Amino acid sequence: MKNRIGYIDMSKGLAIILVIIGHSSFVPNNAKLLLYAFHIPLFFFLSGFTLNVRKYETFSGYCLNKVKSLVVPFFLLNSFVFLFQLFVMYPDQVLSFNILHFIKQLLLSDRLHIYFQLWFLNVLFLSHVFSYFILKRRWNVGQWVIIILSLLVLVYLGQKVYNREYYLIWNIDLVPVALIFILLGVWTKNNLHQLEKYFSIYFLPIGLILTNYSSKLNYRVSGYQIVDLYYQQIGNHFLFYIAAISGIWSVLIFFKTLPESSIMKSIGQKTLIYYGVHSPIVLVLVEKLVKELSTKYTGIFVNQYITTIFVAILTILGCELIVRMFRGTNFPFGIKRVGEKDE
């Protein structure tokens, strides 16, 4: 078993909790614009922080590993969720099921044929493939500047492609922005010793203020549009990167300072499973329950923040229940046991 870094697992745990909160229909707008500013970039950054392409001698070996850990779960999780929805949640739709349309959704996985919220896995896989060719070579400072500037240009072009309604297979237009944060994660890991002094708790207020101010300013200057990478809603690029990087910085400071939490580490080690089942299964059922309860107990759910926290807790418990139901089996991953820890 490979060594795990406690504060990285806890950061992953927070990231998936923020994703769950962001997908809730009860989340207040102010909270949503703040967490959407950095929660997906945080996932890409953490993926880069734990990425090590140099341990693979060949590209084929590296690529096979990524297929097993990202592509296979994408197909199997989507299939599992679809069958669960079809036969358990919406059995009245069984007779109208179109297998060819479902297969087309899975294979194309673009904005016209997206299935659930698992687009992140496709983008992460493609980004890791491109990362291999970048990280396998040694570049000087000038060459790194050219690489980063090229990626920034490609992010801009990706927006243009999406805005013209050219929906690319596997959302490849999102790869450049993912690569930027993955490479930032790799760079941070490689220079962690020199950067350690900047992760002092005394820097946390600066990180939080920067995240809050730049995300809200971006919201205003972009016509009151919340950042959403999937829909290429970045707003002002400079403010987007400031908010995302300062948000990531704040999370790392927070968890590097705090004592390790076994609960957060546990959640962080199972983010792939939580990510796959939370929105299409657990969150749907939880929000139905909360809406039923809100009609009977009106005094409890008058505050959106309280309701969102309640929904998030129940969703996390539901995701954990699914993990434990299948512990010790190969389902729904096929290539590893559900109880095992994700990369």
Of 213 and 295, which is predicted with more confidence? 213
Average per-residue pLDDT for the chain: 89
DSSP secondary structure string for all residues of 263-288: HHHHHHTTHHHHHHHIIIIIIHHHHH
Helical pair 237-257 and 175-190, crossing angle rounded to 10 deg: 40
- Kindly tell me if the per-residue pLDDT of 273 is higher than 70: yes
* Gap between the Cα atoms of 103 and 305, Å rounded: 39
* Gap between the Cα atoms of 155 and 175, Å rounded: 8
Q: What is the pLDDT of residue 241?
A: 98
pTM: 0.92
Closest to 270 (Cα-Cα) out of 189, 326, 186, 308: 326
pLDDT in tens, 32-65: 999 999 999 999 999 999 999 989 989 999 999 9
pLDDT in tens, 92-141: 877 777 778 778 878 887 776 555 568 899 999 999 999 999 999 999 99
258, 13 Cβ separation under 8 angstroms: no
- Kindly tell me if the per-residue pLDDT of 292 is higher than 60: yes
